[in-house]
Amino acid sequence: MYAAIRIYQYKAGAYDEISKSVESGFVGIISKAPGFIAYYLVNTGGDTLATVSVFESQAGAEESTRMAADWVKANLAALVTAPPEVKAGAVTVHKTK
């Protein structure tokens, strides 16, 4: 498994609008990508949020970052204040319920 983590800064007070837009738009797109396992949007406070995309392969995780960049540019450019900080790598420990 591989994960891509993206940390975004956004305009003050825009989290709810971003969250709704991601839920109604991007989640449906990314969840159909090959090797998709999971997607999370995390409110990290201080006008920042993090997203975590989990895929079966490194290629899927890398593609999710390209997909996210394109989607954010087309749908959230007015709300996001800087390019995201992106980290990606192999998931070496995990547990689910």
Residue 17 lies in a domain: yes
Tell me, what's the pLDDT at 77? 95
Read off the pLDDT of residues 6-65 as tens digits, 9 standing for 90 and up: 999 999 999 999 999 999 999 999 999 999 999 999 999 999 999 999 999 999 999 999
Please state the pTM of the whole predicted model: 0.93
Residue 35: DSSP 8-state: T
Residue 24 lies in a domain: yes
Strand order in the sheet with 2-9: 36-45, 48-55, 2-9, 85-90
Considering only CA atoms, which of 71, 35, 70 is closest in space to residue 54?
35
In the chain, the number of structural domains is: 1
Take residue 32 and report the two structure tokens written for it.
Answer: 């159909």
Considering only CA atoms, which of 63, 64, 66 is closest in space to residue 53?
64
Domain that holds residue 65: 2-90
Residue 95 lies in a domain: no
Tell me, what's the pLDDT at 30? 96
**CATH code where residue 76 lies:** 3.30.70.100
Tell me, what's the pLDDT at 62? 93
